[in-house]
């Protein structure tokens, strides 16, 4: 059964000190319901991406909490929390997609939320998406692990620190046009290249900020969707793949095999090729991740990802705009919400509702990655 998107919502991303976890989740949910033009009582199931509510805010049983504060407790519908590191949102979207595609439910919410600013050890918690025993315990947090990947990519393919900085510059420029982004200011290449190292060769501006935020997307079967909109955006494929958790076990640390396998499967299901994608939101938790994504998604052959950023191909006015939202780097990375937030951006682009950052697109792709690539979710949308 074909699956359509009938509503989207997203809170602002950033250090939302004045808002609690419940507040940001409800804000995004109400916006999505209003966008779809439906009432909460019409929702049949909810899947929520959340990496670590238990450690970030000391709250487990997130799913029931959300059903309660969304005013849906009396309906007794199933509400499920999904966890897959920073790919939690993407996996929640896939679960919701399968629930509708299978015919089990007609209208389902896929959501994601994270509240991290209250936690004194937020990066330590995020790094638990890597192999804690074999990597983190020995001092290799996420910035260090991505730095290893970046250094290997540089030595093998000639990628430069300037290339990484150009990704950051591009995404900050895009975020200026996004009213809900965490960082709405441009940076120069010089500023990016002169920022301090976090883990060489990754500098401060090569690292996405973790933050608070929530996103919601409402899915419906094609027949039901026609009751709410004449121009639905369809999900043509939503695939997931896994890989070794620890870098030292990977076939190639300059390639995320989970991304390669998930994208190939998605293209096959959607009956398209990489060249058919018009706009993409990819997981740029670190700038090297965006360059590797260009390659692993098949937009360019292996080792030539940097050429796309150098030639302006992935700029907002390029042939393949990537991260028009500002990406994780400038929009912000509200861990469990990111995968849904990426999907929301693609839907807005395909509907023509992206405002000043609007691009010309009929088909879009979202890539959500967990940790250093242990999980990958690829979703293809069309209008």
DSSP codes joined into one string, 269-289: HHT--GGG--EEE---SBHHH
Query: What stretches of the chain show up as alpha helix (H) in DSSP?
Result: 21-36, 53-56, 62-69, 88-101, 122-127, 142-157, 161-175, 189-193, 222-225, 257-270, 287-296, 305-310, 327-331, 338-351
Distance CA 201, CA 128 (A): 22
CA distances from 253 to 105, 135, 301, 305, 307 (A): 40, 14, 16, 15, 20
Distance CA 369, CA 289 (A): 9
Q: The tokens of 223 are what?
A: 């027949």
CATH architecture entry for 122-207+235-382: 3-Layer(aba) Sandwich (3.40)
CATH number at 3-121+211-225: 3.40.47.10
**Residue 23 CA neighbour count, 13 Å, CB half:** 9
- The residue assigned the tokens 């150098």 is 310
271 class by beta-carbon count within 10 Å (0-12 exposed, 13-18 middle, 19+ buried): exposed
What letter does residue 236 receive in the DSSP assignment?
A: E
Per-position b or e across 157-186, b if 16+ CB within 10 A of its CB: bebebebbbbbbbbbbbbbbbbebbbbbee
Give the model's pLDDT for residue 40: 85
What letter does residue 246 receive in the DSSP assignment?
A: S
| DSSP class per residue in 111-160 | EEEE--TT-TTHHHHHHTTS-TTTTGGGT--HHHHHHHHHHHHHHHH---
SS3 207: strand
Number of residues written out for the chain? 383
Beta-strand relationship, 45-49 and 233-242 = unpaired
Give the model's pLDDT for residue 230: 84
Distance CA 238, CA 221 (A): 15
Give the model's pLDDT for residue 149: 98
Q: Which residue, among 106, 50, 18, has the nearest Cα to 336 in the 3D structure?
A: 50
Q: Check whether the bond before 18 is cis (ω within 30° of 0).
A: no
Give the model's pLDDT for residue 70: 84
Domain with CATH 3.40.47.10 in the chain: 3-121+211-225, 122-207+235-382
Give the model's pLDDT for residue 123: 85
Distance CA 95, CA 88 (A): 11
Q: The tokens of 312 are what?
A: 């302006």
Give the model's pLDDT for residue 231: 83
- The residue assigned the tokens 């540089």 is 154
Give the model's pLDDT for residue 107: 97
Do residues 277 and 365 touch, judged by C-beta distance below 8 A? yes
Beta-strand relationship, 375-382 and 363-370 = antiparallel
Which residue(s) pair with 379 in the sheet? 238, 366
- pTM for the full model? 0.97
pLDDT per position in the chain (383 positions), as tens?
899 999 999 999 999 999 999 999 999 999 999 999 998 889 999 999 999 999 999 999 999 999 998 888 899 999 999 999 999 999 999 999 999 999 999 999 999 999 999 888 888 899 999 999 999 999 999 999 999 999 999 999 999 999 999 999 999 999 999 999 999 999 999 999 999 999 999 999 999 999 999 999 999 999 999 999 888 999 999 999 999 999 999 999 999 999 999 999 999 999 999 999 999 999 999 999 999 999 999 999 999 999 999 999 999 999 999 999 999 999 999 999 999 999 999 999 999 999 999 999 999 999 999 999 999 999 999 99
Distance CA 173, CA 188 (A): 9
Distance CA 355, CA 348 (A): 9
Report which secondary-structure segment, H or E, holds 210: none
Helix 287-296 and helix 257-270: axis angle, to 10°?
50
């Amino acid at each position: 059964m074909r699956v359509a998107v009938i509503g989207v919502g997203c809170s602002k991303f950033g250090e939302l000190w004045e808002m609690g976890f419940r507040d940001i989740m409800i804000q995004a949910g109400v916006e999505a319901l209003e966008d779809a033009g439906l009432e909460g009582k019409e929702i049949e199931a909810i899947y929520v991406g959340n990496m670590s509510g238990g450690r970030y805010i000391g709250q487990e049983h997130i799913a029931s909490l959300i059903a309660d504060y969304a005013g849906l407790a009396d309906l007794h519908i199933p509400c499920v929390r999904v966890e897959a590191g920073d790919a939690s949102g993407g996996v929640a979207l896939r679960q919701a997609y399968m629930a509708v595609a299978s015919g089990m439910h007609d209208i389902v919410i896929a959501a994601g939320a994270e509240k991290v600013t209250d936690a004194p050890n937020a990066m330590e918690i995020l790094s638990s998406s890597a192999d804690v025993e074999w990597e983190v315990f020995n001092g290799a947090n996420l910035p260090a692990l991505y730095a290893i990947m970046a250094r290997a990519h540089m030595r093998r393919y000639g990628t430069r620190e300037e290339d990484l900085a150009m990704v950051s510059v591009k995404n900050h420029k895009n975020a200026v046009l996004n009213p809900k982004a965490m960082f709405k200011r441009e940076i120069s290449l010089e500023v990016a290249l002169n920022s301090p190292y976090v883990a060489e060769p990754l500098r401060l501006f090569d690292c996405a900020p973790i933050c608070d935020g929530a996103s919601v997307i409402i899915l419906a079967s094609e027949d039901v969707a026609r009751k709410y909109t004449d121009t639905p955006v369809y999900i043509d494929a939503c695939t997931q793949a896994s890989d070794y958790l620890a870098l030292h076990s990977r076939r190639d640390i300059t390639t995320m095999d989970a991304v390669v396998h998930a994208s190939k499967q998605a293209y096959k299901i959607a009956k398209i090729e990489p060249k058919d994608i018009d706009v993409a939101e990819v997981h740029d938790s670190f700038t090297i991740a965006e360059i590797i994504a260009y390659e692993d998604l098949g937009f360019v052959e292996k080792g030539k990802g940097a050429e796309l950023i150098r030639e302006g191909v992935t700029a907002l006015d390029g042939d393949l705009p990537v991260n028009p939202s500002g990406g994780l780097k400038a929009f912000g990375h509200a861990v469990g919400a990111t995968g849904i937030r990426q999907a929301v951006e693609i839907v807005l682009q395909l509907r023509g509702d992206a405002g000043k950052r609007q691009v010309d697109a009929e088909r879009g792709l979202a890539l959500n990655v967990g940790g250093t690539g242990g999980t990958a979710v690829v979703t293809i949308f069309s209008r």
